[in-house]
Amino acid sequence: MRNRLRSRLPSRDAVALTLLLALAIALPWLAEAAGNPAGIALATRIAIYALAASALNLALGQGGMVSFGHAAFFGLGGYAVGILYAHWSWQEPLLGILPGTVSLPLTLLAAVGLGGLAAAAIGALSLRTSGVQFIMITLAFAQMLFFLFVSLKAYGGDDGLSVRRQGEFPGLSLRDPAQLYWLCLGLLVGWLALLRRVTRSRFGQVLAGARQNERRLRALGLTPYPYKLAGFILSGMGTALAGALMVNQARFVSPDMLHWTKSGELMIMVILGGVGTLLGPVFGAAALVGLESILSAWTENWQIILGPILLLVVLFGRGGLMALLRRVLPA
Partner 1 sequence: MTPLLTLDDLRKSFGGLRATDGLSLTVLPGELHALIGPNGAGKTTAIGQITGEIAPDSGRILFEGRDITRTPAARRVRLGLSRSFQIVQLLDAATAEDNVALAVQARQGHSFRFWADATRDESLRHPARLLLVEAGLPPARWDLPVADLSAGERKQIELAVALAAQPRLLVLDEPMAGLGPSESRAMTETLQRLKGQVAILLVEHDMEAVFALADRISVLVYGRCIATGTAAEIRANPEVRAAYLSEEDAV
Partner 2 sequence: MGLLLEQLLNGLQLGVMLFLLAAGLTLVFGIMGVINLAHGSLYMVGAFASAWVATKTGSALAALAAGLAAAALTGMAVELLVLRRLYARDHLDQVLATFGLILFFNQGMVLLFGRQPLFVEIPAALRGAVELAPGLPYPAYRLAIIAVGLLVAAGLYLLIQRTRTGMLVRAGATHREMVRALGVDIRLLYTLVFGLGALLAGLAGLMAGPIFSVQVGMGEQILIMTFVVVVIGGIGSVRGALAGAVLVGLVDTLLRAYLPAALRGVMQGPDADALAAGLASMGVYLLMAVVLLLRPRGLFPAHA
Which residues are near partner 1 by CB under 8 A? 1-3, 6, 197-198, 200-206, 208-209, 212-213, 215-223, 226-227, 230
Is residue 100 within 8 A of residue 93, CB to CB? The reply is yes
296, interface contact from partner 2, partner 1, none, CB < 5-8 Å by kind: none
CB of 35 to partner 2, least distance (A): 32
Give whichever of 152 and 323 is closer to partner 2, judged by the CB atom: 152
Give whichever of 61 and 77 is closer to partner 1, judged by the CB atom: 61
Per-residue binding string, partner 2, 112-131, x by CB under 8 A, is: -------------x--xx-x
Question: 171: alpha, beta or left, given left = phi > 0 and alpha = psi -120 to 50?
Answer: left
Select from 165-173, 183-191, 200-208, 302-310 the region that touches partner 2 (CB under 8 A): 302-310
d(CA 305, CA 289): 14
From residue 11, alpha-carbon distances to 14, 98, 196, 261, 274 in Å are 5, 50, 17, 39, 22
CB of 300 to partner 2, least distance (A): 9
Task: For residue 70, give the nearest of 137, 120, 139 by alpha carbon.
Answer: 139
CA 188 to chain centre: 10
88, interface contact from partner 2, partner 1, none, CB < 5-8 Å by kind: none
81, interface contact from partner 2, partner 1, none, CB < 5-8 Å by kind: none
- 260-273 vs 38-57: helix axis angle to the nearest 10? 90
233, interface contact from partner 1, partner 2, none, CB < 5-8 Å by kind: none
d(CA 316, CA 331): 22
Is residue 263 within 8 A of residue 98, CB to CB? The reply is no
From residue 156, alpha-carbon distances to 33, 86, 148 in Å are 40, 10, 12
Q: Interface with partner 2 includes 294 (CB under 8 A)? A: no
Give whichever of 148 and 220 is closer to partner 1, judged by the CB atom: 220
DSSP string, 263-309: HHHHHHHHHHH-TT-SSHHHHHHHHHHHHHHHHHHH-TTTHHHHHHH
Q: Interface with partner 2 includes 22 (CB under 8 A)? A: no
d(CA 177, CA 41): 7
164, interface contact from partner 1, partner 2, none, CB < 5-8 Å by kind: none
d(CA 110, CA 240): 9
Q: Interface with partner 2 includes 271 (CB under 8 A)? A: yes
Is residue 57 within 8 A of residue 276, CB to CB? The reply is yes
d(CA 159, CA 153): 9
Give whichever of 82 and 209 is closer to partner 1, judged by the CB atom: 209
Give whichever of 186 and 307 is closer to partner 2, judged by the CB atom: 307
CB of 222 to partner 2, least distance (A): 21
Give whichever of 220 and 314 is closer to partner 1, judged by the CB atom: 220
Pick out residues in 203-232 that bind partner 2 (CB under 8 A).
Answer: none
Give whichever of 65 and 102 is closer to partner 2, judged by the CB atom: 65
152, interface contact from partner 2, partner 1, none, CB < 5-8 Å by kind: partner 2
Q: Interface with partner 2 includes 7 (CB under 8 A)? A: no
- What is the binding site for partner 2 (CB under 8 A)? 60, 66, 68, 125, 128-129, 131-133, 135-137, 139-141, 143-144, 147-154, 157, 260-261, 264, 267-268, 271, 275, 301-304, 306-311, 313-315
